Structure 1
C-alpha cells in the first residue's frame, strides 16, 4: 500500500534532518505504528506521507500513486486525523460532518446515512445537534475521527488519536479503527501509549533522530531485544533514557 524510498526532510534553518533516509514498505490492511520519542520525526514523516509538507529528497507511493503525478487522486483515498482538533467549534457535530463529507463529494442522502451510523457507533447520536465547543476532549476526538473517515479511505493517518481521552472513549476509538481496518483501510498510527500500540498494531517501526532503528511485529521486536518483556522495554533499549523535552 505504501512504498517509501530514501525519504529525507530538513527544515529551513535546521542543522539536523527530521527524517533521515527512511525506506519502508507498508502492506495493505496493515495497522502500522510509527513510534519514537519527542522530536524523533514521527509527525514529520506522517505529514509528508499525507501531503501536508514536501520531502527534501526521496520519494514515496501510496496505492501506486505518487504525490507529484497523482495528488488529486491521492487526496481522495487518504484520511488524516491530526493531533489537534480539525473541527469548527461554533458548528454542531452534524454540521461539521456534513461540511467535511461534502468536501469528499459524498451525495447528500448517502452522507446523512454514513454520519448517522458513525455518530451512533461513536456514542454521539444524542449530541449531534450540540456545538462542538461544548464537547469534552474525548467527544471531540471521536467526532474528529468520524470527519476523517466519512469517505472510507484506503489509508488513514492518525497522530496520537487517543491522547487525553478517558478509558471508555479510548476503547470506542480503538474498536472503531479495528473495524475500519477489517473493512480494508490501512492505518498508519503514532502514539506515546506503548502498551496500546503493542496490542493495536500489526507492525511497528521505532524511529529516533529521523532514522528507523527497528521494524517488525510487536512480538518480533520484543524477541530481538534481550530481556525485553514488552514494547516499552524495546523502546527504552533502542532510544535510551535521555529526556526528550521540547520547547515550542
Structure 2
C-alpha cells in the first residue's frame, strides 16, 4: 500500500478571467518510507496538490488516499496520518509555544504528550522559548513552531511545503537533521522546495510539475545520470557570443554552460577566447539537479504542456 496515492487528480478554479486548470490528471504514488520531492516553478500546482491532500481544497475530479484512507470519504483518519508544514506563518498570538503544542496534540486526541513535546522543542532549538508567547518570536522561530505542530501527533507522513523559505542557515541545518532522522525511522516525507540543492541531498525520488502536469517522475540517481556530463562555469564582465549566450545560464557575473565532454569544453573555451571574453575562476563541475530542472522546464516550454514522464 502506498503512503500517498494521487489518481487522475484535476483541479479547476473559477477566476475573473474564466476557468483556470491548476492540475491536470495528476497520478502519483509515494511509497512508505520515501523521501519524495515535488518540484516546479511558481504556479505549477504544487501547493494546490498539497492542499487537496491536506483537505484544504477539493479536487474537481480524481481521488487522493493517505495510507489507504480517502481524503474526502474518510477525512478524519486521513488527516490524522498527516503532518503538514504550510508555507504561510500561521499562529495563535494568545498562547505560549508549549501551550500551542499541547493544544495541537489535543486536536488529534493525543494525551500525556509532554515527553514528545519536550523532544520536539529540544530537537528544533525551541527549548529556551517554550514559555514565550508566539507573538514574541522571530519569523524563523515561528516557522520552527509550525514544524513542531506538524509533528506533535507523530504522523507517519510529513508534508513540508517550502519549509525553509526565507529562514537562516542554522534552522535549515537543524530542520533537515531532524527530518532526516524521522525518515530513517520510517516516516514518509513529501517535500516541496525551490532550494534544489536540498532536494538533491535529501530526496530519493522526485516529480516535476509544470502547468499542472507531471513532466518528469524519476529516481534522483537516474535524473542526475541523464544530465549533461559536465558544466563549464566561470565569472566574466564580458558579453558572450550570441550562440553561447543561448546555451548559458547567467547569474550576475557567474556563467554556466552545459558541456557534453572534454572536446565540448575545449570548443567552448576556444569560442570564448575568440569572442574576447575575459574569464575568471574557471571550473568544470558535474551537472546537478538545478541543471536537470532547468533543462526539463525549457523542454516543456518549447514543446507545450507535457504529460507524465
TM-score (norm. length: structure 2)? 0.74
Deviates more, 1:186-195 or 1:62-71: 62-71
| Cα distance in 1 between the residues matched to 2:97 and 2:36 | 29
Query: Which residue of structure 1 lines up, in the alignment, with residue 214 of structure 2?
Result: 212
Equivalent residue in structure 2 for 1:184, among 183, 186, 199: 186
Query: Which residue of structure 2 lines up, in the alignment, with residue 26 of structure 1?
Result: 30
Backbone CA RMSD of aligned residues: 1.6
| Cα distance in 2 between the residues matched to 1:223 and 1:50 | 34
Equivalent residue in structure 1 for 2:60, among 52, 56, 59: 56
Query: Which residue of structure 1 lines up, in the alignment, with residue 296 of structure 2?
Result: 238
Query: Which residue of structure 2 lines up, in the alignment, with residue 3 of structure 1?
Result: 5
Alpha-carbon shift at residue 227 of structure 1 (Å): 4.4
**Secondary structure of the equivalent of 1:240?**
helix
Query: Which residue of structure 2 lines up, in the alignment, with residue 172 of structure 1?
Result: 174
Query: Which residue of structure 2 lines up, in the alignment, with residue 245 of structure 1?
Result: none
Alpha-carbon shift at residue 226 of structure 1 (Å): 3.5
| Cα distance in 1 between the residues matched to 2:195 and 2:218 | 18
Conserved in 1, the CA contact under 8 Å of 2:66 and 2:81?
A: no
**Secondary structure of the equivalent of 1:5?**
strand
Within-5 A mapping of 1:141-160? 141-160=143-162
Query: Which residue of structure 1 lines up, in the alignment, with residue 268 of structure 2?
Result: none
Query: Which residue of structure 1 lines up, in the alignment, with residue 14 of structure 2?
Result: 12
| Cα distance in 2 between the residues matched to 1:84 and 1:233 | 28
Structure number having the greater strand percentage: 2
Alpha-carbon shift at residue 225 of structure 1 (Å): 3.5
| Cα distance in 2 between the residues matched to 1:50 and 1:185 | 17
Deviations 1:144-165, CA, capped at 9 Å, x for gaps: 1011111111111111011111
TM-score (norm. length: structure 1)? 0.92
**Secondary structure of the equivalent of 2:8?**
strand
| Cα distance in 1 between the residues matched to 2:23 and 2:227 | 24
| Cα distance in 2 between the residues matched to 1:136 and 1:67 | 34
Conserved in 2, the CA contact under 8 Å of 1:114 and 1:150?
A: yes
Deviations 1:210-232, CA, capped at 9 Å, x for gaps: 01111112221122234470110
| Cα distance in 2 between the residues matched to 1:198 and 1:175 | 15
| Cα distance in 2 between the residues matched to 1:41 and 1:211 | 8
Equivalent residue in structure 2 for 1:131, among 121, 126, 133: 133
Deviations 1:7-26, CA, capped at 9 Å, x for gaps: 10011134331111111111
Give the aligned length. Answer: 240
1:98 is aligned to 2:156:
no
In the alignment, structure 1 segments of 5+ residues that lack a partner are: 243-248
In the alignment, structure 2 segments of 5+ residues that lack a partner are: 231-286, 302-309
Greater RCO structure (CA 8 Å; 6+ sep): 1
Q: Which of the two has higher C-alpha Rg?
A: 2
